[in-house]
Amino acid sequence: MWAKRTRMREEKMADEISRDEISESFRKVPGKRWCLVLSRPRNEKWAAKTLEASGVRVYLPLLTKVEIHNRGRRETRLPMFPGYLFACAGSAEENVIRANKCVWRLQALSETDEDSLLRDLRIVRMCELQSARHELVVNPELRKGDAVRIRSGAFRGHEAIVVRRVDALSVIINLDFLGRSIDMRWEAGDLEL
């Protein structure tokens, strides 16, 4: 019982420290804005690494995934939002981001959108810290009947309708062409509303 209370007290202290660290990490910086950076597929970590090396403040939220098998336990860190990372950049840093080969697009935000993003990033960071202790699954907010655009693959740029969710990571979409339609399974992370 004593060990359990001690562990709970230590976790509470760690949570308080992490909240202070999170508030400090995600704040407005004079002359700079937080923006959304879309990376090329499966290039999130490399984009973050090269941008940080160039002096750009970058945040790439990662989930800890634990796999247990015969040989033991293996932890991997995967992007929480495939294809997305966040940067705090002024005009000079924006030019560095746009010149990066791993970056597909940079999306600047208005001041109100930046406030909303910073609030959400604080929550994302808390979830990221918790993923080491608890299994978390990020579900894209796609529902039956939503119109979506495919972001990658042979059908990139085409529009479809969500028919139903299959599991946490994929949905069935309906593509219309030549007076016909086809249903296919697609990764939800490769679709945008």
- Digitized pLDDT (tens) for each residue of the chain, 193 residues in all: 544 554 555 455 445 556 677 777 888 889 999 999 999 988 999 999 999 999 999 999 998 887 887 878 888 889 988 889 999 999 999 999 999 999 999 998 888 899 999 999 998 888 888 877 777 766 667 788 888 888 887 888 889 999 988 876 788 888 887 778 888 888 887 888 7
Identify the structural domains of the chain with CATH numbers, from first to last: 2-130 (3.30.70.940), 147-192 (2.30.30.30)
DSSP letter for 124, please. Answer: H
Q: Give the other-Cβ count within 10 Å of 30's Cβ.
A: 5
> What pLDDT, on the 0 to 100 scale, is given for residue 180?
81
Q: Which of 114, 123, 128, 136 is nearest to 23 (CA)?
A: 123
CA distance 15 to 34: 25
Q: Give the other-Cβ count within 10 Å of 156's Cβ.
A: 10
